[in-house]
């Protein structure tokens, strides 16, 4: 009797397997492929990050050596092929600095905007916004500069943003507003540091109080 029941269970299991076996195999294979894909993606991302780091180190060397051609080549590669990593936006900042020093404000502006659009951290975005505002100031695009300076940024950048805001307002002959911006900048900047002396000098030139 026990053997008969056992055989019936085996037969039922065989029937179930004939009906559902392919689905089970497909699910197992899919799960295995998913695990392999995640592992492969992590390996790929690690290798990609390593390549980007190597290229970025070369870019820093080229920038320090004032090698304009190499700086342009490496920054373009990092922005095009590794834009999804942290190195892409940082490369754009270096490229923009080189363009600015060469007097190419249009390229500097485009590279800084790219950094803003692709930065994944607030600090890099804040630096790019600040530098782009400075470019807009040089281009006499004062309203755009002020709009950039009004954007969200970490508190650590507040003094720098306010100082540049003062510069823009001076360029617009808005002396009272510029004085207020410089005064606010002084309250946000560290007590110790030469940068405070620069801001204080600007404030003194406007007749501001210490």
Which residue has tokens 């507040």? 158
Q: Over the stretch 36-56, which tens digit does the pLDDT of each residue have?
A: 333 333 443 556 678 888 999
Structure tokens at 87: 């190195």
Query: In the chain, pLDDT over 70 holds for what percent of residues?
Result: 76
Q: What is the pLDDT of residue 37?
A: 37
The C-alpha angle 120, 124, 126, rounded to 5 degrees, equals: 110
The C-alpha angle 52, 57, 59, rounded to 5 degrees, equals: 90
* pLDDT at position 3 over 60: no
* Residues contacting 94, CB < 8 A, separation 6+: 59, 60, 63, 71, 75
Q: Over the stretch 15-24, which tens digit does the pLDDT of each residue have?
A: 655 665 555 5
* Residues contacting 205, CB < 8 A, separation 6+: none
Structure tokens at 40: 């492969």
The domain segmentation of the chain, as residue ranges, is: 22-144, 154-210
Distance CA 79, CA 64 (A): 19
* Residue whose C-alpha is closest to residue 170's, from 158, 185, 156: 185
Q: What is the pLDDT of residue 27?
A: 45
* Selected residue with higher pLDDT from 179 and 35: 179
Q: What is the pLDDT of residue 28?
A: 44
Q: Over the stretch 94-127, which tens digit does the pLDDT of each residue have?
A: 999 999 999 999 999 999 999 999 998 999 999 9
Which range among 26-30, 119-123, 142-146 shows the weakest confidence by mean pLDDT?
26-30
Structure tokens at 167: 């510069």
CATH architecture under which domain 22-144 falls: Alpha Horseshoe (1.25)
Q: What is the pLDDT of residue 4?
A: 59
């Amino acid at each position: 009797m026990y053997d008969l029941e056992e055989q019936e269970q085996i037969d039922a299991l065989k029937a179930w397997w004939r009906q559902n076996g392919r689905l089970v195999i497909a699910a197992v294979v899919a799960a295995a492929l998913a695990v392999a894909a995640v592992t492969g993606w992590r390996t790929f991302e690690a290798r990609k990050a390593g390549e980007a780091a190597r290229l970025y180190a070369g870019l820093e060397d080229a920038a320090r050596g004032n090698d304009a051609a190499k700086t342009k080549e490496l920054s373009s590669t990092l922005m095009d092929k590794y834009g999804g990593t942290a190195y892409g936006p940082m490369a754009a900042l270096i490229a923009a600095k080189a363009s600015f020093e060469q007097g190419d404000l249009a390229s500097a502006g485009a590279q800084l905007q790219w950094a803003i659009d692709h930065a994944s951290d607030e600090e890099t975005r804040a630096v790019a916004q600040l530098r782009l505002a400075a470019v807009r100031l040089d281009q006499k695009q004062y309203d755009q500069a002020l709009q950039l300076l009004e954007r969200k940024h970490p508190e650590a950048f507040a003094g720098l943003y306010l100082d540049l805001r003062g510069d823009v307002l001076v360029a617009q002959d808005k002396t009272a507003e510029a004085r207020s911006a410089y005064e606010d900048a002084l309250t946000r900047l560290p007590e110790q540091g030469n940068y405070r002396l620069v801001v204080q000098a600007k404030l003194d030139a406007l007749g501001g109080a210490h």
